[in-house]
Structure 1
Amino acid sequence: SLTFQVPDTSTLPLRAIMFSLLHLGPQRDADELIAEAVEAARAADTAVVVVATTERVESEGFDRGDLRLPGRQDDLVRAVAAANPNTVVVVNAGSPVELPWRDEVAAVLLTWFPGQEGGAALADVLLGLAEPGGRLPTTWPARFSDAPVTEVIPAEGRLEYTEGLFIGYRAYERQGIAPAYPFGHGLGYTDWAYESLEVTGSTARVRLTNTGTRPGREVVQLYVAPAGEASGGAASADARSTAVERPASWLAAFAGVEAGPGESVEAEIALPARAFEVWDEEAGRWRRIGGAYEVRASHAHGDTRLTATLEV
């Protein structure tokens, strides 16, 4: 056991130091600050504007009410872009945001929340020392109203997931809505020509050539779709015959390849069995759905470069 002796402080003077930290917004007029940015952009060869979300609008502890960038950031981008056509916008955000000015700027670079080395990495990318080779793991809508799910507040303690399988790019394809940036999208500092696609058994081989002037990396994405089914994701004749409902297409596999200028490379990608299976709730297991499938070698969802047919 431990015994503590607590001194009698009733006769001692009370001395305390108190402080608080308070985050305040800009103390200067927003229009004045934007005007200064415009003047700096007008005198520069290239303008770099960094926009971001904050913990006040995006965090793990609450849901977002919209997809807008906070404050006057959209106004800032538009003003700078009007003053300098070579405007690059760097987006620090952890999830999709609306970018209503995306067609008014020279480039958009998504850096997510990069951490303490973000500045050094950003400099390497902007100066061309490194290629921005990432691909979107989410779909970015043009506007909040295009998002498949906008109601996320439970009613009477319940939240119904009525979208079922149709989440992300599957929902956009079903509804016929074109996003601002599709799932899997991403650009680099070179271009690629998709030359051939061969599917044998459970293996797909995609040959492509770097047609640009710089070395680069491409992510070849394979989507599969039941052959002969209309796009839109409704239950097709094949789906009805097997008592299942499936998306119009879905990602089956992907692989990254690298090549120098003018070089050709082949991506060998295994098609997993799960890509052709559905979950059978009654049997409690995965069930294979046979038939003809279209295999699509794509740069991103909806950006199909080559197709082949596979009989399962």
Structure 2
Amino acid sequence: LGGKVEIVFERGLDHEPAPPQIDWRLLSPDESFTRHGLMARYYAKAGFAGTVAHEELDWHFSKLGFGGKVQTDDDLSFSVEWSGYFRPEQDGDYDFVISHSNKDVELSIGNEVLVGEGTPSERELLFMILPLNRREARKRLQAGRTYPIRLRYSQSKDRAIRAFNIFNVYMRAPTPSREAALRAASEADMVLLFVGSGTTDETEGRDRRSMKLSAGQDDLVREVLAANPKTAVIVNTGAPVEMPWAEDVPAILQMWLPGGEGGSALEDLLSGKVSPSGKLPVTFPHRYEDNPTYPFYPGHKSAEYGEGIFVGYRFYDKVGRDVLFPFGHGLTYSRFEIANLQVKAAASGPTAQLTLDLTNTGAAEAAETVQIYLEDGATREAMPPRQLRAFRKVALKPGETTQLAFTLARDDFAWFDMHGGGWTVTPGRYIAHAGFSSRDLRAAASFEIAI
């Protein structure tokens, strides 16, 4: 972005339903903070007895089956000590949680033991089957001050299960200042507002409770928009969420939980180095009640596919229901046009060849995904209005045109005959639609299929 751009970061709220894993960026093995994480020292015995058997820099504090570095088949006992420094970014009360499978753990900050043998513990279940101990503590800390920190875990031989040595360290920082975030938004030339799932919202072993963004994030979006209309909303979720503010936002970028390199990818997209080219693999409804599964979920410990063959976009097209963003939707920094769609069906047998011209009519190099939907006008059974049958992603420079060819095979025309007990093809009239989403269809051509 160059030296003329100043980036101001503020947290508008805490959207985590439970304390997340302790932030490794606040930890360092060195008081100078030239590195991140803590130094881990493994002992082959419980109680930190003997010499250090293994040493490494560690930054991940959600541990499962982690004693294998020093355990032996004859003796599964071991212990680990992590040490270094902790530097908080905010003044206030910090909540720490230790969830562990053994009895002997310790957390100390600033030479004060916060969690130890005398700390009351509660029982909880991991994956609904593994019993864990949970200990909590709170400490008031000063922003920018460097505190010594030490974590300890000791596993005795008589309680050891190799695969289920579990040690999790969680931390909730003080509540962010909403006023500071809104003030920063009002003073900025533009705002990048990040919303999305907490670290435990979308995970193994549970369902989301709602399609809404948690913790009042929708209200925060509205308040930031009021403070600065030049706001792009970055949505970091792994599934659709309701966006009641979507029509008021100049730009929305769906990130899909991109992982460790997501920040680098986001920088390339926002700076214009590359153009967005993703497509939605699911429909985003306006609200959860619009979803085809709404009448059947949660059910009674069984998954009922009450919508039948009208799954996803097929249902919305069948009932003609408006959606927030349709299946296959996704914009770029350019514009594209489809022309000269032609279909040539085989003289015998259910196959067809499609060709079309795709042109980048915009001013930026970008990639677009052409989608082919097939409308079955021959079969008398209840069928979806259209179904995706082919797609292709093509990158074009401004003004460039390319011809694309698609082949529709027998399987693309087949439907399952429950009475006949097999897949069959109905001869007759079909329509091929070409477009950029299930609701953005730019060209159509009808043709006849013979068996």
TM-score normalized by the length of structure 2 = 0.60
Distance 1:154 1:267 in 2: 45
Aligned residues of 2:360 and 2:397 also touching (Cα < 8 A): yes
Tell me the alpha carbon deviations over residues 187-213 of structure 1, each in whole angstroms, 9 at most, x when there is no partner.
001001212201123221110211111
Distance 1:284 1:62 in 2: 36
Unpaired runs of at least 5, structure 1: 7-14, 228-237
Does the alignment pair 1:121 with 2:265? yes
Unpaired runs of at least 5, structure 2: 1-72, 78-102, 108-134, 136-168, 346-351
Tell me the alpha carbon deviations over residues 55-89 of structure 1, each in whole angstroms, 9 at most, x when there is no partner.
43322312223201111211111111122222111
Aligned residues of 1:91 and 1:108 also touching (Cα < 8 A): yes
Q: 2:410 aligns to what?
A: 273
Aligned residues of 2:341 and 2:444 also touching (Cα < 8 A): yes
Structure 1 residues 250-269: aligned runs within 5 Å: 250-269=387-406
Are the structure 2 counterparts of residues 35 and 196 from structure 1 closer, same or farther at C-alpha, using a change threshold of 3 Å? farther
Distance 1:247 1:86 in 2: 40
Whichever residue aligns with residue 437 of structure 2, its letter is A
Structure 1 residues 175-194: aligned runs within 5 Å: 175-194=319-338
Aligned residues of 1:137 and 1:183 also touching (Cα < 8 A): yes
Aligned residues of 2:375 and 2:387 also touching (Cα < 8 A): yes
Distance 2:194 2:356 in 1: 37
Does the alignment pair 1:161 with 2:311? no
Does the alignment pair 1:196 with 2:340? yes
Does the alignment pair 1:46 with 2:190? yes
Structure 1 residues 1-312: aligned runs within 5 Å: 17-19=105-107, 21-24=169-172, 27-28=174-175, 33-150=177-294, 151-155=296-300, 157-201=301-345, 202-227=352-377, 238-240=378-380, 244-312=381-449
Structure number having the greater strand percentage:
2
Tell me the alpha carbon deviations over residues 185-240 of structure 1, each in whole angstroms, 9 at most, x when there is no partner.
0000100121220112322111021111111111100111124xxxxxxxxxx543
Please report how far the alpha carbon of residue 34 of structure 1 lies from its aligned counterpart in structure 2 after TM superposition: 2.5
Aligned residues of 2:293 and 2:306 also touching (Cα < 8 A): no
Aligned residues of 2:231 and 2:251 also touching (Cα < 8 A): yes
Tell me the alpha carbon deviations over residues 23-44 of structure 1, each in whole angstroms, 9 at most, x when there is no partner.
43x533x6xx232222212222
Distance 1:60 1:176 in 2: 34
Please report how far the alpha carbon of residue 152 of structure 1 lies from its aligned counterpart in structure 2 after TM superposition: 2.5
TM-score normalized by the length of structure 1 = 0.85
Aligned residues of 1:258 and 1:265 also touching (Cα < 8 A): no
Please report how far the alpha carbon of residue 153 of structure 1 lies from its aligned counterpart in structure 2 after TM superposition: 2.5
Distance 1:166 1:190 in 2: 33
SS of equivalent to 2:306: coil
Please report how far the alpha carbon of residue 285 of structure 1 lies from its aligned counterpart in structure 2 after TM superposition: 2.8
Distance 2:283 2:104 in 1: 53
Query: How many pairs align?
Result: 284
Tell me the alpha carbon deviations over residues 150-206 of structure 1, each in whole angstroms, 9 at most, x when there is no partner.
232332x54432211011001111122111000000000100121220112322111
Q: 2:87 aligns to what?
A: none
Q: 2:12 aligns to what?
A: none
Distance 1:196 1:104 in 2: 36
SS of equivalent to 1:300: coil
Structure 1, 176-185 or 61-70: larger mean CA deviation: 61-70
Structure 1, 131-140 or 169-178: larger mean CA deviation: 169-178
Please report how far the alpha carbon of residue 131 of structure 1 lies from its aligned counterpart in structure 2 after TM superposition: 1.1
Aligned residues of 2:193 and 2:233 also touching (Cα < 8 A): yes
Identity %: 37
Distance 1:118 1:162 in 2: 37
Aligned residues of 1:174 and 1:247 also touching (Cα < 8 A): yes
Whichever residue aligns with residue 279 of structure 2, its letter is R
Distance 2:278 2:400 in 1: 21
SS of equivalent to 2:318: helix
Please report how far the alpha carbon of residue 124 of structure 1 lies from its aligned counterpart in structure 2 after TM superposition: 0.5
Please report how far the alpha carbon of residue 17 of structure 1 lies from its aligned counterpart in structure 2 after TM superposition: 4.5
Are the structure 2 counterparts of residues 196 and 158 from structure 1 closer, same or farther at C-alpha, using a change threshold of 3 Å? same
SS of equivalent to 1:18: strand
SS of equivalent to 1:208: strand
Whichever residue aligns with residue 255 of structure 1, its letter is R
Aligned residues of 1:194 and 1:305 also touching (Cα < 8 A): yes
Moved over 6 A (4+): none
Are the structure 2 counterparts of residues 34 and 103 from structure 1 closer, same or farther at C-alpha, using a change threshold of 3 Å? farther
